[in-house]
Amino acid sequence: MRVCILGATGLVGRELLHLIPRAWPGAQLALHASRDQELEVDGRRFEVKAATQLDAVDATGGELAFVALDDEHSARYVPRLLALGYRVIDKSNAYRGDPAVPLVAAGVNDGLVADEVRLVANPNCTTIPLTLALAPLRRHFGIRGLAVSTYQAISGAGIAALDQFLLDAQVGYAAHNRLGAAFSPSGYAGNTVPHNGKTDDSGFSAEERKLMIESSKILAFPDLPISAQACRVPVAVGHYEQVWLTCERPVSLDAVASAWAGGAFLRVVPTADGAGLSALATVHERDLALVGRVRVVPHDPTTVCFTVAADNLRLGAATNAVRIAARWFPAVDPTLQAPGNLP
Ligand SMILES: NC(=O)c1ccc[n+]([C@@H]2O[C@H](COP(=O)([O-])OP(=O)(O)OC[C@H]3O[C@@H](n4cnc5c(N)ncnc54)[C@H](OP(=O)(O)O)[C@@H]3O)[C@@H](O)[C@H]2O)c1
């Protein structure tokens, strides 16, 4: 099987280089980025070609392509990959809203990945763990509405932002200023900042709208009553989300735990105080969403408050993409196999 990664040198592309041999040992890789270059990942060297080579009339096709580019470049290259015969999973926002393109969180609605489907959109890195946590709760208790607050890692903004953050943090903390006055008030290091790109007339940012619109599409719940607040925190990897969910029926802690036990790709962290449920804990459990810290809201027995955390580069991006593809090409590693729609 020939597997193409477009954006192989980026944060998500590099994770795919770990996952593809687990899912499909022996797969032949075709790697592309902005230009010809060599890439070293954990001591392995890879030849990467300029993506423009795919435009050549004699460009080679293949079975499966992962596209880990920004929206603009995804829109440019996805049609070309489809024309070359690839089945494509796109990680950008370019196709998520297209009604003709399934938007899939593996373990929630991967039953949509039928044989005749050629293009699937991978959701945003906060949407995937949120919908994994919500789907079993919806089956058991129904959903009347929810509010979500996210605390997102810097790596969600790509490799350049992550490297700048690491550098700024190193320099800023070396200044030994307890207030953090050495940091830029608008930068990521030592800071909490609104995820405020493309804030529209509604007052919600693009990141917040993505979480709301995508959750509705994945759960096949039109007009899902959801609102979101998204910010970035000075963490390298691992998105943390706080959810207030109002159900159709009263809920209890035990009932929530048993609903999650029937979900997919979840690790329930049973501690009442949330010990073991942190952004960094997700990089030790990269392919699962961590859920826990459930509290029934004192004034309303139908509302529960809980925490969801996941590695944004893996469960929130590359792992979900591989699990989607495993619906077409079954994965050797069972932890990377999507289950099909759960009852
Ligand atoms: N990071 C996350 O947590 C996350 C989670 C979910 C979804 N996503 C989405 O996944 C996509 C990739 O994100 P990322 O974080 O991996 O980004 P990234 O680290 O910034 O990597 C971007 C990739 O795009 C390539 N590229 C840039 N310009 C190009 C061009 N003109 N032609 C071809 N390739 C070009 C880069 O290649 P060079 O190295 O050659 O510049 C690099 O491989 C984005 O759409 C993002 O929104 C990211």
Query: What angle do helix axes 127-141 and 206-218 make, rounded to 10 degrees?
Result: 40
- Please report, for the chain, the start and end positions of each structural domain, with discontinuous segments joined by +: 2-123+317-336, 127-153+192-312
From the CA of 70, how far away is ligand 1's center (Å)? Answer: 6
Give the ranges where the chain is alpha helix by DSSP (H): 11-23, 71-83, 127-141, 159-174, 206-218, 253-261, 319-325
* Residue-wise pLDDT tens digits, 79-114: 999 999 999 999 999 999 999 999 999 999 999 999
DSSP state of 103: B
Residue 341: pLDDT band by 50, 70, 90 thresholds?
Answer: low
Torsion of CA 230, 235, 238, 244, to 10 degrees: -40
Other CB atoms within 10 Å distance of the CB of residue 196: 14
Nearest CA, atom 30, ligand 1: 34
Q: Which residues contact 75 (CB under 8 A, 6 or more apart)?
A: 94
The two three-digit tokens of residue 286, written as one number: 């990269």
**How confident is residue 257, by pLDDT bands cut at 50, 70 and 90?**
very high
Instruction: Check pocket membership of 13 for ligand 1, CB cut-off 6 A.
Output: yes
**CA–CA dist 228, 48 (Å, integer):** 38
Ligand 1 nearest-atom number relative to CA 237: 3
Q: Above 80 in pLDDT, residue 209? A: yes
Q: What percent of the chain has pLDDT over 70?
A: 99
| Over residues 212-222, mean pLDDT | 98
Mean predicted confidence (pLDDT) in 66-71: 98
Whether 321 lines ligand 1, by a CB cut-off of 6 Å, is: no
Per-residue pLDDT tens for 4-19? 999 999 999 999 999 9
Question: What pLDDT was estimated at residue 342?
Answer: 59
Which pLDDT score is estimated for 59?
A: 97
Active site annotation includes 239: yes
Nearest to 50 by CA among 38, 65, 64, 32: 32
- CA–CA distance, 332 with 280 (Å, rounded to integer): 28
Q: What is the pLDDT of residue 333?
A: 97
213: burial class by Cβ within 10 Å (0-12, 13-18, 19+)?
A: middle
Q: Which of 32, 125, 195, 247 is catalytic?
A: 125
* CATH placement of domain 127-153+192-312: 3.30.360.10
The response to whether residue 9 sits with its C-beta less than 6 Å from ligand 1 reads: yes
Point out the ligand 1 atom lying closest to the alpha carbon of residue 8: 43
User: Minimal CA–CA distance to 154: which of 258, 212, 235?
Assistant: 235
Residue 226 pLDDT greater than 80, yes or no: yes
269 lines ligand 1 (CB under 6 A): no
Distance 236 CA to ligand 1 centre (A): 16
Ligand 1 mean position, distance from CA 235 (Å): 19
Q: Which residues contact 151 (CB under 8 A, 6 or more apart)?
A: 192, 231, 232, 233, 235, 239, 240, 241, 242, 279
Cβ of 10 less than 6 Å from ligand 1: yes
Instruction: Kindly name the residue from 239, 247, 284, 299 that is annotated as catalytic.
Output: 239
Q: Please give the share of the chain, as a percent, with pLDDT higher than 90.
A: 95
247 is catalytic: no
The response to whether residue 12 sits with its C-beta less than 6 Å from ligand 1 reads yes
pLDDT single digits (tens) 278-330:
999 999 999 999 999 999 999 999 999 999 999 999 999 999 999 999 999 99
In terms of Cα–Cα distance, which of 281, 286, 284, 263 is closest to 271? 281
- The dihedral built from the CA positions of residue 95, 98, 101 and 106, taken in this order, carries a sign that is positive
pLDDT interval class at 206 (50, 70, 90)? very high
Q: What's the rounded mean pLDDT across residues 176-188?
A: 91
Q: Is the CB of 125 under 6 A from ligand 1?
A: yes
* Nearest residue to 86 (alpha-carbon basis) of 69, 67, 100: 67
Q: How far is the CA of 33 from the centre of ligand 1 (A)?
A: 9
Residue 343: pLDDT above 60? no
CA of 331 to the centre of ligand 1 (A): 25
The response to whether residue 34 sits with its C-beta less than 6 Å from ligand 1 reads: yes
Q: Cβ(161) to ligand 1 under 6 A? A: no
Average pLDDT value for residue range 246-255: 97
Query: Taking all residues of the chain, what is their mean pLDDT, rounded to a whole number?
Result: 96
Query: Which amino acid is located at 85 in the chain?
Result: G
Nearest Cα residue to atom 41 of ligand 1: 34
10 Å Cβ neighbour count for 197?
10
Tokens matching residue 185: 């008030």
pLDDT at position 178 is: 87
Q: What mean pLDDT is predicted for residues 210-219?
A: 98
| pLDDT reading at 44 higher than 90 | yes
Quote the ligand 1 centre to 145 CA distance (angstroms): 33
Q: Check if 313 has its Cβ closer than 6 Å to any atom of ligand 1.
A: yes
Cα 27 to averaged position of ligand 1 atoms, centre (Å): 22
What's the CATH number for 2-123+317-336? 3.40.50.720
Query: Which of 70, 78, 164 most suits a substitution to test ligand 1, by most atoms within 8 Å of the C-beta?
Result: 70
Average pLDDT on 160-171 reads: 96
pLDDT at 340 exceeding the cut of 70: yes
